[in-house]
Chains A and B, each alone.
Chain A
Amino acid sequence: MTRDRGRRQLAMMLAPYLLGLTVLVLAPFAVTVVLAFTEYDLIRPPRWIGTDNFTALAEDPIFRTALVNSLLFAAVAVPLRLTIALSLALLLHRRSRFAGTARTAAVLPSAVPEIAYGLLWLWLLNPLYGPISQVLRAGGQNGLTVFGRTPPQWLTDPVDARAAIILMSLFTIGETFVILLAVRRSLPPDVYELAALEDATGWDVLRRITWPLMRPVLVLLLIRDAILSLQFSFLPALVVTDGGPPPYATTYIPLFSYRTAFEYLRYGYAAAATAVMLALTVAAVALQWRLLRRHEALRDR
């Protein structure tokens, strides 16, 4: 009787979340997957065309560029974001005079609305008048850096523009930082005291104690960031670089899908691109999971 009541309470507590999950995530997901097999323009009824959209995507050079850009972004940004968040958490977990201020500074960029964050970076990265370029040019002559080199062309050079989008992503690690900070602070202090008695070096402590204890959470965050990274690039690319500089240097799959769906009215085609992105996300997560399981199995042996 008590168990039934407990289950009912649990179901009631979960119901709002499950409802939201169904209406806002699962149903649109199902619709997107189905629409990927149709020709649909948002106005006329969809027409079933089988796998034609996927065939066309395979031959679409813009989609291929967007796909490579997205994978490159994930491959570089995710490890960097996680490393920075972990470093900050390890650096700031102790109570000290400036730790509170520093923690706030680390979290603050994540609290800025995305559009405002993008517009802020548009100003920061302004090639001539932006503070980043001004700082890089300080001490140099005729618009060059102090080393006589041209500063990064954030908005006009394809490689630098990709770097700018990654750079923007490195400051919105607040949530990851808070989780890692909480995890680090919850680790048993007696283990560290014991290590100190044993004269363990900082590197030993990190490798033998902190890393193994935090690894389960890090794995979770790695998977979560990999999933989010494929979507994270959307607003910076839309607001700051507009998908350019040409040819499509910062056009990622979400931006490709958005433009194809809502500016060119090819919703079915965009749904197919989104489905590919979802498939890639699942594949990336599965691969990470498998690699980590294998690593753990080897370790346990």
Chain B
Amino acid sequence: MTRLRRLATLALCTLLTATAGTACADHGDGGGDPSAPVRLLVFGAPEELAAYRTLADAYTRAHPDRTVQLVEAGDRKDLLARLSTSIAGGEPPELFLMNYRFYGQFAVKDAIEPLDDRITASDKIDPADYYPVAMNAFRWRGRQLCLPQNVSSLAVYYNRTLFEKYGVALPQPGWTWNDLLTTATAMTRDAAGGVIRGTESEGAAQRPAVHGVGIEPSIIRLAPFVWSNGGEIVDDPARPTRLTLDGPAAREALKNLVDLRLAYGVVPTDEEVESEDDESRFANGRLAMLLSSRRSTTTFRSITGFEWDVAPLPVYRQPAGILHSDAYCMTRGGRNKQAAWNFLEYAISADGQRIIAATGRTVPSHMAVANSPAFLGPAQPPRSAKVFLDAIPTVRALPTVSTWPEIEDVTSGILENALYRGDRLDDVIRQLDEQTRPLFARAEHPR
């Protein structure tokens, strides 16, 4: 039987190599020519892509004999598709930038080149210079697979001009969920500037001209509030087997989240979100607050009509944040590993992080740069950039199991129906559990 399987596998490899790609091929060392272009696969908003171009240009200026070619994907899913197909085709980009929540499926398949030996030999990179929470998020079975460029947490972006116009108190550190709700209710306004109850917008009544807050119905937005309330989202963060949103603390956080729409109407309806996403709504002055990570900063810096800033997340029982971190990963099958490492070293070094931090895209993973004027300088908004740094001691990472992308996709659909359609909370929690259990069962773990 084993022999039969081996023969079948061999036949398949031959067939695949002849037609689709070189999945069974040995990619060898891939040292390559250091002066050959390094392909870096990224995705993001136009402003984010401009930030990466700035970094690549700075690298080429510093090293005229070396070039970096950005391969731009449309979105995260497009990036995953491009990466997987290019690896299967035997022509992967040398580097790709990926969030820790999604690299597990490539790590488990041994598609990422471990960087430990190169880090040890490097005179430019000292792991002690970087925030451990971000570094640890990219450790897979004891090996450092990728190096993080940023260590963002979730924050509350708010339209300061609008708050001042309506005389509503600005969000302050230590504010609670109830404070968020009160503030969002006070900021939900009609076109004449009067406070309006957004739930009436369903059907016959007037729609709010400004909504109090925007929040995406997803597990990554819910998790920090569950943790803050003393709950957990999975049974075992190291080796999760199920979601635990049925616990009282998690349930309360989930109920409060969906009540933002269902009971208070302070978040836009699904119809409104489909018409104009929350980020655009905020940039157009029609959303008073938005819960988002640092990545929104690059887009919001193009805002000229009003002043905006950031505040920490509201707290239930204890402060808690969620890690948002992207890292440079080197593909095992890349042709030009030495050149890729040269760029990676530059991008992660203090010099490289200063350049990308100045574009607004990152909260630098390099601690000295994060605490320097390159990040904290008041030249460009947000004025309270330190909010991102203050949150780092309390941020937690989500599980990096190999099936996490599927888990996020499944849960976001269920949470979307909970927030916008008003599905019963018991059904929501049951569906979340039932539909993710098989995915956890299929997962492989980083430890």
Q: Which residues of A contact B (CB under 8 A)?
A: 23, 27-28, 30-31, 34-35, 38, 40-48, 61, 126-130, 142-144, 150, 153, 155-156, 244-248, 258-259, 261-265, 267
Contact = CB atoms under 8 A, between A and B. Distances in A.
Contact of B271 (A144, A156, A244, A259): A156
B88 interface: yes
Interface stretch (B78-86, B140-148, B308-316, B339-347): B78-86
Interface in B231-246: none
Interface of B: 4-5, 8-9, 12-13, 15-16, 18-21, 23-24, 77, 80-81, 84-85, 87-88, 105-106, 109-111, 203-207, 270-272, 274-276, 403, 405-406, 409, 412-414, 416-417, 420, 435
Given A31-B19, A48-B9, A143-B207, A43 B84 contact: yes
Given A48-B9, A126-B275, A156-B420, 6 more contacts: A45-B24, A46-B12, A127-B274, A245-B270, A261-B84, A262-B81
A31 B20 contact: yes
The 5 tightest CB contacts between A and B, nearest first, are: A246-B413, A262-B81, A128-B275, A42-B88, A43-B109
Given A150-B203, A262-B85, A263-B81, A156 B270 contact: yes
A43 B88 contact: yes
> B-side binding surface: helix, strand, loop or mixed?
helix
A45 B275 contact: no
Contacts of B275: 126-130
A269 B143 CA distance: 30
A205 to B, nearest CB: 47
Given A155-B274, A262-B85, A42 B23 contact: yes
17 contacts: A27-B18, A28-B19, A43-B23, A44-B109, A45-B13, A48-B4, A48-B9, A48-B12, A144-B204, A153-B271, A155-B271, A155-B274, A244-B413, A244-B416, A246-B417, A261-B84, A265-B106
A126 B274 contact: yes
A27 B18 CA distance: 9
Nearest to A264: B406
A262 B80 contact: yes
Task: Please classify the interface of chain A as helix (H, G, I), strand (E, B), loop, or mixed, using the class held by over half of its residues.
Answer: loop
Contact of B23 (A44, A153, A247): A44
Contacts of B206: 142
Nearest to B416: A246
B105 A265 contact: yes
Given A42-B88, A43-B84, A246-B414, A128 B12 contact: no
Nearest to A260: B406
Nearest to B25: A45
Of B24, B87, B270, the most chain A CB neighbours within 10 A belong to B270
Given A42-B84, A47-B9, A248-B413, A142 B205 contact: yes
Indicate the member of A23, A43, A61, A156 with the most B CB atoms within 10 Å: A43
Nearest to B415: A246
A248 B105 CA distance: 23
A31 B409 CA distance: 28
A195 to B, nearest CB: 52
A155 B272 CA distance: 10
B16 A31 contact: yes
Contacts of B77: 259, 263
A27 B417 contact: no
B411 to A, nearest CB: 10
Nearest to B18: A27
Contact of B84 (A27, A127, A245, A262): A262
A194 to B, nearest CB: 57
Residue among A27, A155, A248, A265 facing the most chain B CB atoms (10 A cut-off): A265
Contacts of A41: 109
A1 B20 CA distance: 42
Nearest to A128: B275
Contacts of A43: 23, 84, 87-88, 106, 109-111
A150 B202 CA distance: 10
B143 to A, nearest CB: 17
Contacts of A258: 81
B15 A30 contact: yes
B404 to A, nearest CB: 10
A132 to B, nearest CB: 12
A42 B85 contact: yes
A249 B368 CA distance: 49
Contacts of A35: 12
Contact of A128 (B9, B272, B403, B412): B272
Nearest to A32: B20
Contact of A156 (B13, B23, B85, B274): B274
Nearest to A156: B270
A263 B405 contact: yes
Nearest to B203: A150
A27 B111 CA distance: 27
A44 B207 CA distance: 53
A30 B16 CA distance: 10
A300 to B, nearest CB: 46
A46 B18 CA distance: 15
A263 B80 contact: yes
Contacts of A38: 8, 12
Nearest to A41: B109
A46 B16 contact: yes
A44 B22 CA distance: 10
A282 to B, nearest CB: 22
Given A43-B110, A128-B275, A245-B270, A28 B20 contact: yes
A262 B82 CA distance: 8
A254 B105 CA distance: 22
Given A126-B274, A127-B274, A44 B110 contact: yes
A130 B84 CA distance: 36
Contacts of A267: 88
A119 to B, nearest CB: 11
Contacts of B276: 128-129
Contacts of B12: 34-35, 38, 40, 45-46, 48
Contacts of A44: 23, 109-110
Nearest to B81: A262
